[in-house]
């Protein structure tokens, strides 16, 4: 039996397991997915997930993104979605998409899911790798896939580098679309309002019931009160309202009606590793563990010469 250990139970790790199941079968392969969190939380037509994904996707109404002036909301340029082939984007809530992947893993018996498994060390035993976890347990595998994010423990075993601040803070939240319909005068909810040093992104998710909200603010390192890179760092709605108080009325309606405690995401990135495969092919890096970058591939690496490490 060929054993595969996937370290990290996010989108990359779960999707990797489903891909192996789909393309290789599992008659002589066993996959374990090790997630350090206490639970799995927060598209693939070829993997048979498209129908389920469509149920939770938002409807962009033929618009990928409409670029707008921040102060007036007037159109700068609108990018339409493709009209041919299976290439249209599917905007989704991350947690809802993770749930689809977990259900597919379980229903297809594609992998065994483990939680509270924080990878600490790897050892190369020639024909196999061993993984030691923080709880003291040890497992062995023929192949280890490191899908454990920007602060990858698997990567750190082979690559000596650190995450670099990308010069930007991002506020993430959700807004009930019904609460802003009267104030939203744009023909689409897929919009990006642009200002010097800031931009405010919105698009529909959860079957077009919820608006995903992402506010980007260029912020010097010395002005940061908290320098922790985290998906779960909380902010306050009042902070978001203040940052975007000069934006158009549509944006004001969103910041007024979004979550009380939006997330605050301090952007970090890494330079790409010259190698993604190690220990004679027994270890491979995936997603952010291999090539973490800021959204839109923006800002991270020029800033790395200026701002401190995480």
Summarised one tens digit per residue, pLDDT across range 96-114 is 788 889 999 999 999 999 9
DSSP bridge pairs for 218: 168
Hey, what are 266's tokens?
Answer: 């301090």
**Between the CA of residue 252 and those of 130, 206, 240, what are the distances in Å?**
53, 22, 10
Over the chain, what is the mean pLDDT? 86
Residues of the chain with CATH 3.50.50.60: 2-57+92-161+270-295
Indicate whether this model's pTM tops 0.85. Answer: no
Of the candidates 267, 271, 35, the one whose C-alpha atom is nearest the C-alpha of residue 153 is 35
Q: What is the CA radius of gyration of the chain?
A: 21
Q: In the prediction, which pLDDT does 131 show?
A: 98
Residues of the chain with CATH 3.30.9.30: 164-268
Q: How much is the average pLDDT of 118-124? A: 96
Query: How many CB atoms are closer than 10 A to CB 41?
Result: 15
Alpha-carbon span 233 to 98, nearest angstrom:
20
Compute φ and ψ for 187, nearest 5 degrees.
-75, -10
Q: Under CATH, which number does the domain 2-57+92-161+270-295 receive?
A: 3.50.50.60
Contact 45, 86 (CB under 8 A): yes
Question: With 70 as the cut, is the pLDDT of residue 267 above it?
Answer: yes
DSSP bridge pairs for 80: 63
Least reliable range by pLDDT among 193-202, 223-232, 288-297: 223-232
Q: How much is the average pLDDT of 90-95? A: 72
Summarised one tens digit per residue, pLDDT across range 180-222 is 999 999 999 999 999 999 999 999 988 889 999 999 999 998 8
Q: In the prediction, which pLDDT does 297 show?
A: 47
Of the candidates 44, 52, 42, 54, the one whose C-alpha atom is nearest the C-alpha of residue 21 is 44
Domain topology for 164-268: D-Amino Acid Oxidase; Chain A, domain 2 (3.30.9)
Q: Mean pLDDT: which of 57-61, 77-81, 280-284 is highest?
A: 280-284
């Amino acid at each position: 039996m060929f054993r595969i250990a996937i370290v990290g139970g996010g989108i990359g790790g779960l999707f990797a397991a489903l891909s192996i199941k789909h393309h290789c079968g599992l008659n002589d392969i066993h996959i374990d997915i090790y997630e350090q969190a206490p639970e799995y939380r927060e598209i693939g037509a070829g993997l048979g997930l498209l129908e389920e994904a469509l149920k939770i996707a938002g409807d962009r109404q033929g618009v990928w993104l409409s670029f707008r002036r921040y102060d007036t909301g007037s159109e700068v340029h609108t990018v339409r979605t493709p009209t041919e082939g299976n290439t249209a984007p599917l905007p989704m809530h991350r947690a809802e998409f993770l749930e689809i992947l977990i259900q597919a893993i379980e229903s297809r018996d594609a992998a065994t899911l483990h939680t509270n498994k924080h990878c600490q060390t790897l050892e190369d035993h020639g024909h196999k790798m061993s993984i030691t976890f923080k709880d003291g347990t040890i497992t062995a595998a023929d192949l280890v896939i490191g899908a454990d994010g920007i602060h990858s423990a698997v990567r750190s075993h082979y690559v000596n580098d650190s995450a670099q601040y990308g010069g930007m803070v991002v506020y993430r939240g959700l807004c009930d679309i019904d609460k802003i319909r009267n104030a939203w005068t744009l023909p689409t909810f897929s919009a990006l309002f642009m200002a010097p040093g800031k931009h405010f992104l919105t698009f529909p998710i959860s079957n077009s019931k919820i608006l995903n909200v992402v506010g980007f603010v260029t912020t010097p390192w010395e002005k940061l009160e908290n320098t922790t890179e985290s998906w779960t760092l909380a902010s306050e709605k009042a902070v978001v309202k203040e940052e975007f108080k000069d934006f158009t009325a549509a944006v004001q309606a969103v910041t007024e009606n979004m979550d009380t405690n939006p997330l605050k995401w301090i952007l970090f990135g890494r330079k790409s590793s010259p190698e993604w495969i190690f220990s004679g092919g027994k270890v491979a890096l995936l997603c952010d563990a291999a090539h973490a970058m800021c959204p839109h591939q923006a800002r991270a690496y020029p800033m790395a010469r200026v701002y401190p490490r995480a």
